Copies of this chain bind each other. A is one copy, B any other.
């Protein structure tokens, strides 16, 4: 299957003043089964507001939009400007009600398309000998 690869929403980010949740689209409801046993999920979403040639052209940014942070390759950041506009947030599940997964927070705007959800299973390996730059 040649590129480009095609992805489509499996749900959307919804917000009120009091809550934030992911609303899973009806065809994908069976794929939620078992989420209730996890405390955390990794949510992959699409930075749809940046889905144009300029938004996808950025290869370097100042992390956290702070000009005092050194100009850094987007692969070394979580910038919403990047060649493939996939966002990734680790979220705590607050509750699951029918098609809604209530979460603590997500760095995504209202109505942002969600393209995948994965359970979060940390390992000791990940946590040993971490090293980060100063801006992080």
Contacts and interface: CB of A to CB of B under 8 A. Distances in A.
Contact of A76 (B34, B73, B88, B132): B34
Contacts of A90: 126
B132 A28 contact: no
Contact of A115 (B86, B120, B129): B86
Given A48-B1, A132-B121, A40 B126 contact: yes
Contacts of A34: 70, 72-73, 76-77, 133
Interface in A1-23: 1, 3-10
Contacts of A73: 30-35
A65 interface: no
Nearest to A121: B136
A34 to B, nearest CB: 3
A52 B83 CA distance: 24
A59 interface: yes
A127 B71 CA distance: 30
Interface string A93-136: 00000000000100000000101111111100111011111001
A117 B59 CA distance: 12
